[in-house]
Amino acid sequence: MIVVVTPTHPDDWFTVAAESAPDTPTLMVSGQRTLANVRRVAQATARAGKRLRPHTKTHKMLELARWQLDNGAAGLQVAKLGEAEVMLDSGTPDLLVAYPIVGAAKMPRLNSLAARTRLTVSLDSLVVAEGISRALDPDNGIEVLIEVDTGLSRLGVMPEQAAELAAAVAGLPGLAVAGVLTHEGQVGTQLQIGGLLEDLVSAAVAKMAVAVAGLRRIGISEPMVSMGSTPSWRQLLDHDEVSEVRPGLYVFHDMNSVRAGSATLAEVAAVVAATVVSVSRARHEFVIDAGSKSIGNEPRVLGELTSYGYLPDADAHVVRVSEEHGVVAASQTLPAVGDRLVVVPNHVCPVVNLHDAATVMQEDGTQTEWRVAARGLSR
């Protein structure tokens, strides 16, 4: 089943963001909505007695990382060392690099991070652990989370294999096995095609429980169980087995979030403001100055329609993109050249990575600029 969202206009932030963008295309962020999103997750996680270690790959901004820490995040997560090097300046007491670190060029940087903060890495093979252990300065220690595949089929060992890998890693100098980690990203994908949230989350937790039982058998009595995605964080709090949640997208949300039922349009806090640069009466289409270099290039097939982003004020979709052009199929009256609109991206994380900075609109109407400080740092 394909869920086609035809949302009603939630309030006027989208209009205000379009009108007050300093120029276009611009990544516009609602400070108010972002802070509400940050606090909602932090408060619920604290109430449930779990740790929150948000993934900062969505925003890559130090100011927002500090908001997350100030509101109760126990630490931060990144994918890459370059992001970790930036996020250290947030003052985080704890950093998780949730990515297998491979290659000699990375080892001095890993050592220097380990010397400066409590560092955890996730991995799914002994060869990765051996590479890290061999390169680690004797003064440095790193915690390891064994990555388990709970259904995404990306990284991770099968739940039954976690104990064997944990035992081998625990024997390596400098490394301490802290527990198990998964990213149950399949939950969001399945929700968009009609899956049931509770069933999907329970299935992922059950797989983690198998891995945990294995770790206990080898003497790791209190393993950390780290799980996380935006569609699943709330349900994970109901599971005693889970110790930590790691959502990322929740700070901004996007059309993926809306289609998965994880957010409403009223919670979407980052959009791309664009200007209409051409109107075609013949095709009943118009062109905005935001193409794949501003709104990304992740199409979603919605029945008959392929959407590259949703324009809430026009209730219309970008149906084709080239680098600097977004072609919008008008659903209502055509706008005029010069009109401004915002695009809610399908997937906001890579979109943020396309922009040097975001214009953040604060509650009092003022605007500040936040640099996407970890932009492009994929090494």
Ligand X SMILES: Cc1ncc(COP(=O)(O)O)c(C=O)c1O
Amino acid at position 121, single letter: V
The least distance separating ligand X from the CB of residue 368, rounded to whole angstroms, comes to: 25
Is the Cβ of residue 250 or residue 370 nearer to ligand X in the bound state? 250
Is the Cβ of residue 26 or residue 230 nearer to ligand X in the bound state? 230
Of 33, 51, 55, 60, which lies in the binding site for ligand X, with binding defined by CB under 6 A? 55
- Rounded to whole angstroms, the Cα distance separating 366 from 363 reads 7
Is the Cβ of residue 21 or residue 95 nearer to ligand X in the bound state? 95
Pair 147, 97: CB distance under 8 Å = no
Is the Cβ of residue 256 or residue 275 nearer to ligand X in the bound state? 256
Is the Cβ of residue 72 or residue 277 nearer to ligand X in the bound state? 72
The least distance separating ligand X from the CB of residue 233, rounded to whole angstroms, comes to: 7
Site for ligand X in 245-274 (CB under 6 A): 246-250
Of 98, 212, 265, 271, which lies in the binding site for ligand X, with binding defined by CB under 6 A? 98
Stretch that binds ligand X, among 125-133, 197-205, 228-236, 318-326 (CB under 6 A): 228-236
Comparing C-alpha atoms, which of 41, 2, 31 is closest to residue 247? 41
Stretch that binds ligand X, among 17-25, 86-94, 112-120, 227-235 (CB under 6 A): 227-235
Q: E strand or H helix at 35, and its extent? A: helix 31-47
Q: How far is CA 159 from CA 182, 194, 234, 236, in A?
A: 10, 26, 23, 18
Site for ligand X in 125-184 (CB under 6 A): 183
How many residues belong to the site for ligand X (CB under 6 A)?
13
Is the Cβ of residue 195 or residue 228 nearer to ligand X in the bound state? 228
- Report if residue 53 touches ligand X, rule: CB under 6 A: no
Helices (H), ranges, 71-173 = 81-87, 107-116, 126-135, 162-170
Question: 263's torsion region: left (phi>0), alpha (psi -120 to 50) or beta?
Answer: beta
Q: How far is CA 5 from CA 11, 265, 318, in A?
A: 17, 10, 14
DSSP SS3 for 294: helix
Pair 333, 278: CB distance under 8 Å = no
Site for ligand X in 330-349 (CB under 6 A): none
Return residues touching ligand X (CB under 6 A): 55, 98, 183, 185, 188, 228-230, 246-250
